[in-house]
Chain A
Amino acid sequence: MTLMERAYLPAIATGMAITLKHFFKKKVTIEYPEVKRYLGPVFRGRHILKRDAEGRERCTACGLCAVACPAEAISMVAAEREKGEEGLYREEKYAAVYEVNMLRCIFCGLCEEACPKQAVYLRHDEFIPVFSDRDQVIWGKDLLVEDMNNRYTREAWTKEEARSLDLKRANGEATNVVPRAIP
């Protein structure tokens, strides 16, 4: 080693300069419960049973989602639409009970793909909340069916669309996508 290297102090000073640089660097941490990151348009989060434009449930209880489900998380009971319920259900047959076992679900999205009526979706903007009780495991229609006052849409499908959405949001225009954390 040269004298400079054996003196050890210049090397220490270099190292200290590097760590000091990191000290003042912007932190990459996203403080999760307060700040949530936008996970992209194809993220598969909590389930939703869509309604159509008139507010009628799209699901016709064909059972294809339950068949497609590799984890066998979905179960349903079909019922026939009565007279006067045309405003509630789009098809003549509907799901009287539609349950997803959230401990079994692996969020693979095969139910979405199997659905012929575009009724079941996995939201890209919401997680299944943490639960600790047995009776919170199985989600029924009360939790799954879409709320017409707070409809679920997916606006940005590609990176470019996401970027233009960011621009829109920066201009203060209303969007349906949860704001992206700026890391």
Chain B
Amino acid sequence: MELTEFIIKTLTILVVFVLTLLIAMYSTWGERKVAGFIQDRMGPNRAGPGGLLQPLADAGKMFFKEDFIPALASKWLFIAGPSLAMLTALLASAVIPFGSTFRYDGVEVVLQGVESNIGILYVFGVVALGVYGIMIGGWASNNKFSLLGAIRAASQNISYEVAMGLSLIAILMMSSSLSLGDIVAQQHGGNWNIFYQPLGFIIFLTCSFAECNRVPFDLPECETELVGGYHTEYGSMKLGFYLFAEYINMFVSSAIISTLYFGGYNYPGMDWVYNQLTAAMGTTTGHNIATLIGTGVFFGKALFFVFFYMWVRWTLPRFRYDQLMNLGWKKLIPLAIINIIITGASVLFLKPFITSLLN
């Protein structure tokens, strides 16, 4: 039993890993398509039908470029930078619940890499590590612009992590659990957190843009001021890893947003669909198909937020650095604290009041 469990877990993690990579890969294609469409262009359409082979062509190009390390760079750290960025980006997807359970031969398999009861803490820990990849890469390049970009990235990530954590506390006060699986299960039946935490959602969303170093907070790679930012000296697949890590981060944070605020794999009318399917196809097949539908819904939500990231990128201009810091420290953090107080008061006073009214 121990061995089967091990194999099942390994397989789940592999599937999650491959799916994350695949989605990140096609996000690069999607990004360029969305950019094109928003600017009244066609986007890539030469490699394969609709340009679908473009990511492969890009990867091929990246791999065959000269893998260059500057003479004065710190060699090991220069390699460690992109590796760390990739590693931390990929780690976070392990705890995301992609669906409820899968039944096979009497065994229930949870569609989640690791069922951790501190899932959201784990995500935060890993995301906080992500800044090391950028910082190490920028420092090891031995280039002023790289270092400036890395410093910007570090201070930006640390600043916005505070507001992000604070906005999350409100959610945790409502769910009284750190497990992502529990948080999703509690949102069953249209009980999505977005309806209770609209302010918290906006703060979280803004902070996740900053955490992913995406427009309008992409100051670490601000090419008008810093050449290429922390990856100025990078080329070949090392640069590819940095860019790829950004897309993985985008997908992971989209998945986290849909898990925390949009009910994960829950969708309206879910119980009805479940009952119909189990009545028609039996408790095993029906259950599995219902789970698959839920997983599809989850990916739909996550991919919508990936699209949202791109949509914002091709709409908004970049912030100035002082504006970024003002927004982070003087606006988002106070707002998040107010949100916590309101949520706390509601949980303490409003919730018992409403439940007593209903009963």
Contacts and interface: CB of A to CB of B under 8 A. Distances in A.
B105 interface: no
A31 B38 CA distance: 18
B315 A15 contact: yes
Interface in B187-241: 202
B315 A29 contact: no
B283 interface: no
B279 interface: no
A183 to B, nearest CB: 12
A12 interface: yes
B268 to A, nearest CB: 24
B65 interface: no
Nearest to A7: B331
B304 interface: no
Given A16-B311, A19-B311, A29 B41 contact: yes
Contacts, number: 32
Interface in B33-61: 34, 37-42, 45
A144 to B, nearest CB: 33
Interface string A13-26: 00110111011010
Given A9-B202, A20-B311, A23-B34, A15 B40 contact: no
Nearest to B46: A31
Contacts of B315: 12, 15-16, 18-19
Contacts of A19: 38, 311, 314-315
A27 interface: yes
B22 interface: no
Chain B: interface residue count, which band? 10 to 19
A23 B37 contact: yes
Contacts of A22: 37-40
Tell me the dominant secondary structure on chain A's binding face. Answer: helix
Interface residues of A, number: 14
A10 to B, nearest CB: 12
Contact of A27 (B41, B311, B316): B41
A102 B88 CA distance: 58
A104 B160 CA distance: 62
Tell me the dominant secondary structure on chain B's binding face. Answer: loop
A12 B45 CA distance: 30
A101 to B, nearest CB: 33
A75 B173 CA distance: 89
Contacts of A31: 42, 45
Nearest to B317: A15
A15 B316 contact: yes
A12 B37 contact: no
Interface string A99-114: 0000000000000000
A102 B150 CA distance: 54
Nearest to B45: A31
A28 interface: yes
B326 to A, nearest CB: 11
A18 B311 CA distance: 11
A10 B316 CA distance: 13
Nearest to A11: B316
Nearest to B308: A16
Contact of B316 (A12, A20, A23, A25): A12
Interface in A1-59: 9, 12, 15-16, 18-20, 22-23, 25, 27-29, 31
A35 to B, nearest CB: 12
A67 to B, nearest CB: 45
A28 B40 CA distance: 7
Contact of B40 (A9, A16, A20, A25): A25
Contacts of B316: 12, 15
Contacts of B45: 31
B118 interface: no
Given A18-B315, A22-B38, A27-B42, 20 more contacts: A12-B315, A12-B316, A16-B311, A16-B312, A16-B315, A19-B314, A19-B315, A20-B311, A22-B37, A22-B39, A22-B40, A23-B34, A23-B37, A23-B38, A23-B311, A25-B40, A27-B37, A27-B40, A28-B40, A29-B42
Interface of A: 9, 12, 15-16, 18-20, 22-23, 25, 27-29, 31
11 contacts: A12-B315, A15-B315, A16-B315, A19-B311, A20-B311, A23-B311, A27-B40, A27-B41, A28-B40, A29-B42, A31-B42
Report, nearest first, the 7 A-B pairs whose CB atoms are least far apart. A19-B315, A19-B38, A23-B37, A29-B42, A15-B315, A23-B38, A22-B38
